[in-house]
């Protein structure tokens, strides 16, 4: 029994061994809701049981009254799949193609993207035709025949009777409503744009003085921030320079004389003479102010016996 995309009530007739199980089913969006269920001895008793109805009938035959086969085809044949399956009927069943009713379900396995998995459902006409005659004698419209458990309709289109009148009318009404909604949406957008544009322009005009003031204040704040950073940098460098000079005056041995001092970008270069240049380096390395104390030129010996040296060091970063 095919699943419809709009609410429709159908009669589902399940053929059992001794009687027919009849259910009034509402189908919508792939779901089914059973409204009524009853049992009747045969098709001739259906008119008295269900009463006058325009709903379609679908017959579900027991699984053993048909044949189900699983086939695989390349994806390339899907444009002419029905013709390919017609040639397979006699190969997979005991009847020629003209003696059966059949339908199929197509599935595309994720692990085999280039293959089609076909579920072929075949029911011989000698099984279906007596049922069609019984429904015709009872003046009931049968729109489909399937095997229990399979969502197929083996009944050819030419033999399907009845029409879902309510479904057709409702679909037409829905289509008309969608059309009107689309027209309203198309006309609504330009109107909304004009209204929104006017509202936005009014809001811009209202906020413009405040925005100008904010921009001016932001420019002033940026200028003050730059001045503050410049002053802070000068103060920090000045303090570092003074601290470096103070440390040198404190730590250098008494027999050490500086002839040159240069401070730049947190680095200090000194040169001079001392009784022991290595002693000068060791004293500065122990200082908490300097780091990376290294000789930037070879140590030379003066005629007086003292060492001439040049040292480079950096000032420790403050925490």
126 pLDDT more than 60:
yes
Specify the fold of 8-163: Nucleotidyltransferase; domain 5 (3.30.420)
**pLDDT at position 235 over 60:** no
> Residue 273 has which token pair?
């003479």
- DSSP, res 88: T
| 3 state DSSP class of 170 | helix
Please give the Cα distance from 83 to 77 (Å, whole number). 9
Q: In this structure, are residues 57 and 10 in contact, taking their beta carbons and an 8 Å threshold?
A: yes
User: Which DSSP string do the residues of 185-237 spell out, in sequence order?
Assistant: HHHHHHHHHHHHHHHHHHHHHHHHHHHHHHHHHHHHHHHHHHHHHHHHHHHHH
The predicted-structure confidence for 139-177, as pLDDT tens digits, reads as follows: 888 989 999 889 899 999 888 886 544 455 555 666 677
DSSP-derived 3-state class of residue 80: helix
Which H/E stretch holds residue 127? helix 125-137
Report the alpha-carbon angle 74-78-82, nearest 5. Answer: 115
Structure confidence by residue, pLDDT tens digits, 239-280: 788 888 888 888 899 899 999 999 887 889 999 999 999 999
pLDDT tens figures, 170-215: 556 666 777 877 787 777 777 777 887 888 888 888 888 888 888 8
* Whole-number Å distance between alpha carbons of 41 and 148: 19
pLDDT over 80 at 289, yes or no = yes
Query: Do 8-163 and 245-315 come out as alike in CATH topology?
Result: no
Helices and strands (H, E) in the chain, number of each type: 6, 13
SS3 state at 3: coil
Q: Which class does domain 245-315 fall in?
A: alpha beta
Helix (H, G, I), strand (E, B) or coil at 41: coil
Look at strands 56-61 and 142-147 and give their pairing.
parallel
pLDDT digits (tens, 9 = 90+) for 72-115: 888 888 888 888 888 888 888 888 989 999 999 998 888 888 88
Sorted by where each begins, the domain ranges of the chain are 8-163, 245-315
pLDDT of the residue at 307 = 93
Give the sign of the dihedral formed by CA 94, CA 96, CA 99, CA 104. positive
Weakest-pLDDT range from 21-35, 42-56, 137-151, 223-237: 223-237
d(CA 98, CA 90): 10
Q: In the beta sheet, which residues pair with residue 24?
A: 11, 36
Q: What are residue 74's DSSP bridge partners?
A: 115
HSE (side-chain half, CA atoms, 13 Å) at 162: 21
- Cα(223)–Cα(124) distance, rounded to whole angstroms? 93
5 to 1, 28, 34, 153, 178: CA distances (angstroms): 13, 6, 17, 16, 16
pLDDT above 60 for 132: yes
Tell me the C-alpha distance between 231 and 228, whole Å: 5
107 or 30, which is more confident: 107
Residue found under tokens 């279906």: 128
Residue owning tokens 């390339």: 76
> Cβ(25)–Cβ(35) under 8 Å?
yes
Q: 208 — phi, psi (to 5°)?
A: -60, -45
pTM score over 0.85: no
What pLDDT is recorded for position 101? Answer: 94
Determine how many CB atoms are found less than 10 A away from the CB of residue 314.
Answer: 16
């Amino acid at each position: 029994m095919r699943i419809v995309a709009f609410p429709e009530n159908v009669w589902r007739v399940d053929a059992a061994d001794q009687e027919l199980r009849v259910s009034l089913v509402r189908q919508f969006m792939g779901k089914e809701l059973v409204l009524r269920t009853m049992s009747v001895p045969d098709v001739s008793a259906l008119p008295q049981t269900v009463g006058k109805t325009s709903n379609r009938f679908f017959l579900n035959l027991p699984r053993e009254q048909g044949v189900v086969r699983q086939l695989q085809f390349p994806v390339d044949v899907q444009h002419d799949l029905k013709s390919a399956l017609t040639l397979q009927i006699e190969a997979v069943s005991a009847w020629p193609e003209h003696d059966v009713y059949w339908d199929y379900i197509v599935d595309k396995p994720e692990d085999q993207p280039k293959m089609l998995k076909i579920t072929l459902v075949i029911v011989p006409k000698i099984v279906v035709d007596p049922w069609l005659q019984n429904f015709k004698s009872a003046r009931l419209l049968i729109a489909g025949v399937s095997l229990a458990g399979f969502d197929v309709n083996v009944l050819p289109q030419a033999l399907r009777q009845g029409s879902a009148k309510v479904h057709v009318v409702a679909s037409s009404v829905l289509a008309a409503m969608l059309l009107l909604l689309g027209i309203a949406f198309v006309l609504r957008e330009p109107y909304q744009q004009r209204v929104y544009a006017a509202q936005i322009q009014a809001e811009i005009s209202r906020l413009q003085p405040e925005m100008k003031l904010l921009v001016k204040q932001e420019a002033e704040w940026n200028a003050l921030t730059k001045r503050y950073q410049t002053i802070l940098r000068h103060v920090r460098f000045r303090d570092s320079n003074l601290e470096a000079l103070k440390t040198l005056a404190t730590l250098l041995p008494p027999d050490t004389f500086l002839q040159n001092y240069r401070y730049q970008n947190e680095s200090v270069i000194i040169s001079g003479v001392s009784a022991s240049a290595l002693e000068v380096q060791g004293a500065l390395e122990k200082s908490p102010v300097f780091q990376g104390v290294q000789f930037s030129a070879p140590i030379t010996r003066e005629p007086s016996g003292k060492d001439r040296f040049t040292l480079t060091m950096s000032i420790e970063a403050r925490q």
